[in-house]
Structure 1
């Protein structure tokens, strides 16, 4: 039998899985299984700080996450000022997404109307700002985005939980909530106004 054929035959036998056995499997090449290595969090005398895991080099950027667009990723312009309007095209899909994400992440404190009387607040948590207040309505969109991203006072950061696009979608819904509490008949499309029941006429 030629050496090459014999080697293939031996490998085939080593890879066979017949009846169950209490014996450990055959390792033809075991060097990758038993190589010396450090596990996560282990110490190492090789490095001065004693850690086997090395910190990320300053300035390291994951592939696809350069995030150069300050307006989109940070809500600020080139001068570091908050941008006035969300840097994305706002359509019904974005608004509905914002409503959905708001109801998941924000309503527990702000409630679904944005009044700041969510279930968490009703159980003793300090009430947040009312989202239809003049204070919020006059904020730039970038500032609302920044608040969602980094938190403020009792509000935690949602930067890790909510993707950038969803944060901007929530900003659009916050604008809807603010507008809804200060709307007039002129804000309603003309063909829809007849469906509105004047205040005081409800039975």
Structure 2
């Protein structure tokens, strides 16, 4: 009797040996599915919002106020994400140019000096020319910070001594 039960358990266990997750009834993506009367990929229900979308949309639409902290954050993010191509000064002479990649446009050309901050935000978000999108790598708050830092680079390149307040001008010129 024990021998018969052992043979039955062994026979049942051998029947499941060829079963794995690849061999099962399932629908593959974008295929027809009679159960759903159409495609397996179902449209999302109306009026749904993905987690975090409202905060992201708010950050995209709201340009932060200019501050020293924002410029510092922009400088840090610029050094990480932008300077390999655009160079530390925004001249388009980053390390990738020396390795054979296309020469990006300098931030100091008139077309980009007159562009609004939204242009820089959109280029970081969507890419432009040979530059790919950084939307997945740079959060919206940091995109605004980078745009502010680009403005600071542009202003510093075109600044004159007359733009400096009179009380601080003496320390820059070395006169007492």
Please indicate, yes or no, whether the TM-score normalized by the shorter chain is above 0.5.
Answer: yes
Query: What residue is the counterpart of 1:146 in the other structure?
Result: 122
Bigger fraction of residues in helix: 2
- Give, in whole Å, the separation in 2 of the partners of 1:68 and 1:50: 30
Q: Does 1:182 align with 2:174?
A: no
Aligned partner of 2:80 among 75, 96, 104: 104
- Give, in whole Å, the separation in 2 of the partners of 1:64 and 1:110: 31
Consecutive unaligned residues of structure 1, counting only runs of 5 or more, are 1-37, 75-85, 199-203
Taking structure 1 as reference, are residues 138 and 106 closer, same or farther at Cα in structure 2, changes over 3 Å only?
same
- Give, in whole Å, the separation in 2 of the partners of 1:123 and 1:49: 50
Consecutive unaligned residues of structure 2, counting only runs of 5 or more, are 1-25
What does the per-residue CA deviation read over 1:7-31, in whole Å, with 9 as the maximum and x for residues that have no partner?
Answer: xxxxxxxxxxxxxxxxxxxxxxxxx
Q: Does 1:131 align with 2:118?
A: no
Taking structure 1 as reference, are residues 103 and 58 closer, same or farther at Cα in structure 2, changes over 3 Å only?
farther
**How far did 1:132 drift?**
1.6
TM-score (normalizing by structure 2):
0.70
CA contact 1:109–1:119 (8 Å) conserved in 2: yes
Taking structure 1 as reference, are residues 57 and 105 closer, same or farther at Cα in structure 2, changes over 3 Å only?
farther
Q: Does 1:65 align with 2:53?
A: yes
- Give, in whole Å, the separation in 1 of the partners of 2:39 and 2:119: 42
Taking structure 1 as reference, are residues 64 and 50 closer, same or farther at Cα in structure 2, changes over 3 Å only?
closer
- Give, in whole Å, the separation in 1 of the partners of 2:46 and 2:131: 29
- Give, in whole Å, the separation in 2 of the partners of 1:158 and 1:142: 15
Query: What residue is the counterpart of 1:78 in the other structure?
Result: none
**How far did 1:160 drift?**
1.1
- Give, in whole Å, the separation in 2 of the partners of 1:156 and 1:148: 8
Q: Does 1:157 align with 2:133?
A: yes
